[in-house]
Structure 1
Amino acid sequence: MKIINLIQIVAIILLLACSKKTAPVENILPVSKIINVQTATELKAALANAKAGDEIVMADGLYSGKFVIAAGVNGTAAKPIILRGSRNAVLDAGDINTGYVLYLQSNYWIIKGFTITNGLKGLMVDGSEYSVIDGIRVFNIGEEAIHLRKFSAHNTIQKTDISNTGLKTPDYGEGIYIGSAKNNWANYSNGNPDLCDSNLITKNKIGPNISAECIDIKEGTTGGIIRENNFDASGINGANSGDSWIDVKGNYTLIENNIGTNPGGSIFKDGYQVHCAVAGWGNYNEFKNNHCTVSATGYGFNIQLSGSNGTTTGNKVYTNNIVTGAASGAANIPLSN
């Protein structure tokens, strides 16, 4: 019995020692396989054949072409698929007039670190859930930089750097576009609202030279969070009513702790806007603790109360927002405590 007890004690000591050594890496994601790529051909093959837990690592360099992560190439919550590279790993579609530089259509992906440039659209995300877009740079794009569409929900876009959009079509040059306009529901969501819900947009730098809104949140979306971003209005040109940092047409969006500036040279009206594009939408959105240097003729927060499509209700602008340079005032509605 004494020998057995001694063995048990030694086993416990060894277990505790191993636990102490491994504790600092508890947040590291499990990786099934690391796939190193150096060419566009290798990258396309890796994207097509990725399995849950794989990590695709791009060497620095130019990857020419358009790249697709097809539907069904899914990670899992425990084993997401990672695609990463430094800012010097550049996906370049070579033409701002057509196509998507990177097209994500699967779940549980982490898109991290690299650069996307020279496409009609930068990163298009269709039907993806629980994916993370982290620290990428997107610039020199014909229309919008990043678009969450076709029921893409529960995703995170964080720490990205977006500039120079709308080079082909300024009307559609948003930095980040969430959902679909009603006139596109037939194309992307079977005529129903495009429920791109519960997406988190945080700690991004959007601008300068974003031709439309920094973020456009469409009717049909619910429960988004826009937090701790930096918006630069330089380059906004007013096309297609793009004259604010953010235009909200969805419901229950929380917009907080953002910093917006308007250094000049753009056709800028209001810091933030809410519109009713479809009856029942544009409601219960909240604006908290945003710092707004508007330097324009409008409001810090302009909430459309009624229009040809209906009325809005339940929107709140809190007193802890800081607004300077808005000629019409902080907001067109009473502030909430």
Structure 2
Amino acid sequence: MSHTPPPQSPPPGTFRLPGGPAVWLGGAALLVALVALIVAVAGSGGGSGPGETVGATSSGPRPSASSELPSLPDETPSAGPIVTDDPTPSSGTGGPTPSAPVDCPTASVTVNDARSLKAALAMAQPGQSIRMADGTYTGRFTATTPGTADQPIFLCGGAGAVIDGGGIKGGYAFHLDGASYWRLAGFTVRNGQKGVVADQVQGAVIQGLTVTQIGDEAIHLRKFSSDNVVRDNTISTTGLRRDKFGEGVYIGSAKSNWCTNSDCKPDASNNNVVIGNHISATTAESIDIKEGTTGGKVIGNTFDGSKLSGSSNDSWVDVKGNGWLVQGNTGRHSNGDGFQTHQILDGWGTGNIFKGNTAQVDGPGWGFHLTSDGNTVACDNKVTGAAQGQANINCTR
């Protein structure tokens, strides 16, 4: 996680004479310096005041408040913009994952009930920030207007702002449907068949949510949803409708659903990052990564598998895709193994790397049970309480 930061450039609009100590400038040199100063001040945006706070009737775009996600461990490249400048994941030493602060811009729209929230979502434009006041918003909510990389759309609220899907037997509590470059931050989602679903979404950030009391999985990225970040969320109590579908975070689609979700092609939901989440009381895997997905990262999460149920739900993380990095995570309590890979189709379930994880299995299986070929388990993973041992393959130093 530690590497030398690049040199910091001076803030925009800063005028600095080169050469160290002040020197006397005369004649033309003084004139040149004065002109340079005027140009620098003009370039700093002097004359434009602070951002105006607008009320619930305003719909104009606002400047982006996002910053870039710094490189992940081992200088792994970023998966896109993030809404905080403290993305440090869990150290992997156990205990709940500390949530990074959620830094949302000043609201351009404030809502306080389900009707006003639906109206704000329908009228959302790039650059807007929608603020949810504390209260319960009952219903199923959908965003369909994309933001942009430079002008994302924010939906923010505190933990007291609760989206209640109205029941665990049908529908999504919150649906990003083609709505790329959204930032969902800080609020609670509960009581839906699925919690948060992203379909055909790029560059979204789902951060600092509490997702609980869900019929199936809590957060699902699918239908070619790539380059998204799921981070610092607290996920619990899933699988209330069907325990076999009670994943915490689900990436992609099973092959059996490709004709439904991805035109009978592999659901290439690629390069997603799942970082710093605390996932517990899920009846299926904390993180399930499907065949057809490539190049994602699972970094610094904590898992508690005490509620895992059924013969197929027997690990915290199951990787069926290719080229995933699984690093610095901490798990405890499993009814089977800690981490797994599977080959569902030829060519899938390979090229995955497991390093620096801590697995307190307390169960009958392995710390790392890799049933597909071409994967790496580093020797720096720590395993306790696994009846079968560290891993079913030799570790790599």
Tell me the TM-score normalized by structure 2: 0.76
1:293-335, Cα deviation, whole Å (9 max, x unpaired): 001111000011xxxxxxx321000000000011111000011
Whether the 8 Å CA contact 1:130–1:154 is kept in 2: the answer is yes
1:254 aligns with 2:325: yes
Whether the 8 Å CA contact 2:287–2:317 is kept in 1: the answer is yes
Q: Which residue of 2 aligns with 1:309?
A: none
- Distance in 2 of aligned mates of 1:236 and 1:230: 15
Q: Which residue of 1 aligns with 2:224?
A: 151
Matches for 1:63-142 after TM superposition, within 5 Å: 63-70=137-144, 73-105=145-177, 106-142=179-215
- Distance in 2 of aligned mates of 1:280 and 1:168: 33
Instruction: Give 1:7 shift.
Output: 5.7
More strand by share: 1
**What one-letter code is carried by the residue in structure 2 that aligns with 1:233?**
G
Matches for 1:191-206 after TM superposition, within 5 Å: 191-206=264-279
- Distance in 2 of aligned mates of 1:299 and 1:248: 15
Q: Which residue of 1 aligns with 2:294?
A: 222
- Distance in 2 of aligned mates of 1:16 and 1:79: 21
1:300 aligned to which of 367, 371, 374? 367
Tell me the TM-score normalized by structure 1: 0.89
Q: Which residue of 2 aligns with 1:270?
A: 337
Residues matched between the structures, number: 317
Whether the 8 Å CA contact 1:32–1:53 is kept in 2: the answer is no
- Distance in 1 of aligned mates of 2:233 and 2:109: 24
Q: Structure 1 residues 18 and 275, CA, compared in 2 at 3 Å: closer, same or farther?
A: same
Instruction: Give 1:11 shift.
Output: 2.9
**What one-letter code is carried by the residue in structure 1 that aligns with 2:324?**
T
Instruction: Give 1:94 shift.
Output: 1.6
Q: Mean alpha-carbon deviation: is it higher for 195-204 or for 37-46? A: 37-46
State, as a whole percentage, how many aligned pairs show the same letter.
44
Instruction: Give 1:33 shift.
Output: 7.0
Q: Which residue of 1 aligns with 2:60?
A: none
1:59 aligned to which of 133, 144, 149? 133
More helix by share: 1
**What one-letter code is carried by the residue in structure 1 that aligns with 2:208?**
G
Q: Which residue of 1 aligns with 2:244?
A: 171
1:38 aligns with 2:112: yes
- Distance in 2 of aligned mates of 1:326 and 1:166: 25
Instruction: Give 1:17 shift.
Output: 9.1
Whether the 8 Å CA contact 2:64–2:151 is kept in 1: the answer is no
- Distance in 2 of aligned mates of 1:300 and 1:165: 24
Whether the 8 Å CA contact 2:64–2:150 is kept in 1: the answer is no
- Aligned to 2:197, the other structure's residue is in SS state strand
Whether the 8 Å CA contact 1:133–1:156 is kept in 2: the answer is yes
Q: Structure 1 residues 202 and 10, CA, compared in 2 at 3 Å: closer, same or farther?
A: closer
Q: Which residue of 2 aligns with 1:320?
A: 380
1:286 aligns with 2:353: yes
Instruction: Give 1:10 shift.
Output: 6.2
- Distance in 2 of aligned mates of 1:27 and 1:68: 22
**What one-letter code is carried by the residue in structure 1 that aligns with 2:197?**
M
Q: Which residue of 2 aligns with 1:184?
A: 257
Unaligned runs of 5+ in 2: 1-26, 50-62, 68-104
